[in-house]
A and B are shown apart, each in its own frame.
Chain A
């Protein structure tokens, strides 16, 4: 481990504030960025339930823990554990990071086509790339978001994907972030910078998992830029262990005529928060942002999204689905903004929620802020349970109670899952849902 500076201040829980990694070898602009980040961390406070944006997501348990920033280390995991995480479609177009540090031994980029840059930028001296200097921390809101500021101070290797203008990348690209549970809980700070150049096209999977039992804390920040006329399909999967804390923000900036399709899947973590912002900067942009959360036990999954139409003639659709079992709690806060001069926008949002147990909870809230007058805007939210007549019908055809419930749960999720462009990921998710263990209480409560 590199030398650490001892630092302490009021804003952060003790564990987090204890040690900052050395930045002596960072390039000048990055040092400057880090310094500003520290300054913001010091000025911003750690959110509590009194903050409107964090009303349902209590970070008390996170505060209690003494996390340490994760240093680079070798991953000691059986190959089988790792192998199941590889998508055959992206077997040689993947970057792997362990606790936020680039892991060359697990990465494989030999099939990355011409015109596509899939690489890591090391904080220790190598970050001079013009692209990174131009974009990094320019999109994510370090000024107001303490976790973004914290990530900006702490990240070591940036996952960088750049699709050159006019390049159509057929192979899906895979960014895999693995957190490892250790004796001392570690804070990982994954950072992504993803740029789809003018008129390019690509499909990428950004995935967060953890290996080993135990507490981990991932604080991830992704900045995504879709330039003029470019298309991007972006699947994000969060499947960390059930003792993990996962806080992440994705900021998407769309230039004129850009098309962006996202599918955000949340399966893991004890507590997860995904703050998603899509800004339609140029006219004629389109985004389709879907979400699926499948949680149980005492999990909490919170998605806060802001779809911001800042230019005319844009279109956005958002379908967010939460499937909540046992005592889990899902939060969806979906804000749609249409700025004053952003006429002729069409924004649609649907929030559909399925409660599988009487103790399961969901707080789903649309928030519309419409300042233009010539726009179409529609939203709706539903909360329901599995239909007992459908369950009976399936049982009358021989399906067990669990198989019937899982099939109907899959049917609910299918609308989102079936849109995933990778067959192997789709198959994996289908199995996750269809092979779910149905707890006896769920059926007893529903009866």
Chain B
């Protein structure tokens, strides 16, 4: 078994005074792929953004350890530099900033922190063109403003491109599959698979089982009303696809009564 990368213990969090996460527990080890599924509004994005350090969420209880350290004590940029990566459910458009300069700035900032080599625009161009192939993106995307006017699928590919450049230790992909047609889904999943290695881990937040046909998870978790209420293997995803979430709720209610 790989070393423990992420340890979430009884995590409670609130936004605007409303408690959204109500006691999340999760352990992720190096080399693992975890899927978190669950109905809309169950707290999946809240959990993802909280791991990345979004300022809107207040932790009201519990703890999160990343590589044994208190993740919650780090600012968003420190988490990113330390290897935590969030692929956004809704990637943000930044008009006026070219994708190429944004990617290079991000790459060099993280490289500097990790003691790696920073690249000038020409050197970076070679690197990024290599990575573009991974997500089958045209080089013309580099000249455009970050995510501006990108289709849903293009935005998601741009997220995976960033993941490829930043080489995270722990990647959280928040519904990277939603809104993708089957070709785009295959490309994005292929990209993620190539980035997996025994030293890193991925949390796939998804609404649908179909992504899991392309990326095989070691664990499938069901999030419901701010908690992980059920954990299983990849067959759990198929069962959820066939039966919906209601039975999990019922099973949980029965469990609580017993």
A residues neighboring B (CB under 8 Å): 387-390, 392-401, 403-404, 407-408, 410-412, 414-415, 447
Point out the residues of chain B lying under 8 angstroms from A403, CB to CB.
Answer: 105, 109
Contact pick for B96, options A392, A393, A394, A411, CB 8 Å: A411
Interface members, chain B 76-120 (any A CB < 8 Å): 76-77, 79-81, 85-86, 88, 91-92, 94-97, 102, 105-106, 109-110, 113
**Distance to closest chain B CB from A392 (angstroms):** 6
Stretch at the interface among B16-24, B51-59, B224-232: B51-59
Give Cα distance in the complex from A411 to B92, angstroms: 14
Point out the residues of chain A lying under 8 angstroms from B92, CB to CB.
Answer: 387, 389-390, 392-393
**Distance to closest chain B CB from A446 (angstroms):** 10
**Could you tell me if A411 and B80 are in contact, using CB atoms closer than 8 angstroms?**
no
**Could you tell me if A408 and B110 are in contact, using CB atoms closer than 8 angstroms?**
no
Give Cα distance in the complex from A399 to B94, angstroms: 14
**Distance to closest chain B CB from A42 (angstroms):** 50
Known: A397-B166, A398-B110, A398-B166. A392 touches B94 (CB 8 A): no
Give Cα distance in the complex from A390 to B102, angstroms: 12
**Distance to closest chain B CB from A225 (angstroms):** 35
**Distance to closest chain A CB from B238 (angstroms):** 32
B residues neighboring A (CB under 8 Å): 52-55, 75-77, 79-81, 85-86, 88, 91-92, 94-97, 102, 105-106, 109-110, 113, 162, 166
**Distance to closest chain A CB from B218 (angstroms):** 25
Other than A396-B88, A397-B102, A401-B77, give 17 A-B pairs with Cβ distance below 8 A.
A390-B92, A393-B92, A394-B102, A395-B53, A395-B75, A396-B52, A396-B76, A396-B77, A396-B80, A397-B80, A397-B109, A398-B113, A400-B77, A403-B105, A403-B109, A408-B94, A414-B96
**Distance to closest chain B CB from A416 (angstroms):** 11
Point out the residues of chain B lying under 8 angstroms from A408, CB to CB.
Answer: 94, 97
**Could you tell me if A396 and B53 are in contact, using CB atoms closer than 8 angstroms?**
yes
Point out the residues of chain A lying under 8 angstroms from B113, CB to CB.
Answer: 398
Point out the residues of chain B lying under 8 angstroms from A407, CB to CB.
Answer: 97, 102, 105
**Distance to closest chain A CB from B34 (angstroms):** 20
Give Cα distance in the complex from A412 to B95, angstroms: 8
**Could you tell me if B91 and A399 are in contact, using CB atoms closer than 8 angstroms?**
no
**Distance to closest chain A CB from B115 (angstroms):** 14
Contact pick for B77, options A389, A390, A395, A410, CB 8 Å: A395
Give Cα distance in the complex from A93 to B146, angstroms: 39
**Could you tell me if A390 and B52 are in contact, using CB atoms closer than 8 angstroms?**
no
Q: When A and B form their complex, what is the total count of cross-chain residue pairs whose Cβ atoms lie within 8 Å?
A: 74
**Distance to closest chain B CB from A319 (angstroms):** 13
Give Cα distance in the complex from A436 to B96, angstroms: 18
Point out the residues of chain B lying under 8 angstroms from A400, CB to CB.
Answer: 77, 109
**Could you tell me if A410 and B105 are in contact, using CB atoms closer than 8 angstroms?**
no
**Distance to closest chain A CB from B164 (angstroms):** 13
Closest to A400 in B: B77
6 A-B pairs with CB atoms under 8 Å apart are A397-B102, A397-B110, A397-B162, A398-B113, A404-B77, A407-B105
**Distance to closest chain A CB from B101 (angstroms):** 9
A-B CB proximity, top 8 nearest = A411-B96, A397-B106, A395-B76, A393-B92, A398-B109, A398-B110, A395-B77, A398-B80
Closest to B147 in A: A393
**Could you tell me if A410 and B96 are in contact, using CB atoms closer than 8 angstroms?**
yes
Point out the residues of chain B lying under 8 angstroms from A396, CB to CB.
Answer: 52-53, 76-77, 79-80, 85-86, 88
**Distance to closest chain B CB from A186 (angstroms):** 40
**Could you tell me if B77 and A388 are in contact, using CB atoms closer than 8 angstroms?**
no
**Distance to closest chain B CB from A149 (angstroms):** 42
**Could you tell me if A393 and B88 are in contact, using CB atoms closer than 8 angstroms?**
yes
Known: A392-B55, A396-B80. A411 touches B162 (CB 8 A): no
**Distance to closest chain B CB from A399 (angstroms):** 6
Point out the residues of chain A lying under 8 angstroms from B77, CB to CB.
Answer: 395-396, 398-401, 404
**Distance to closest chain B CB from A287 (angstroms):** 24
Give Cα distance in the complex from A56 to B77, angstroms: 40
Point out the residues of chain A lying under 8 angstroms from B96, CB to CB.
Answer: 410-412, 414-415
**Distance to closest chain A CB from B100 (angstroms):** 13
Give Cα distance in the complex from A407 to B92, angstroms: 14
Point out the residues of chain A lying under 8 angstroms from B79, CB to CB.
Answer: 396
Point out the residues of chain A lying under 8 angstroms from B81, CB to CB.
Answer: 398
Counting chain A CB atoms within 10 Å of each CB, the highest count among B52, B55, B110 belongs to: B55
Give Cα distance in the complex from A395 to B84, angstroms: 11
Point out the residues of chain B lying under 8 angstroms from A411, CB to CB.
Answer: 94-97
**Distance to closest chain A CB from B2 (angstroms):** 24
**Could you tell me if A399 and B54 are in contact, using CB atoms closer than 8 angstroms?**
no
Point out the residues of chain B lying under 8 angstroms from A389, CB to CB.
Answer: 92
Closest to A387 in B: B92
Point out the residues of chain A lying under 8 angstroms from B54, CB to CB.
Answer: 392
Give Cα distance in the complex from A410 to B97, angstroms: 8
Known: A396-B52, A396-B86. A390 touches B94 (CB 8 A): yes
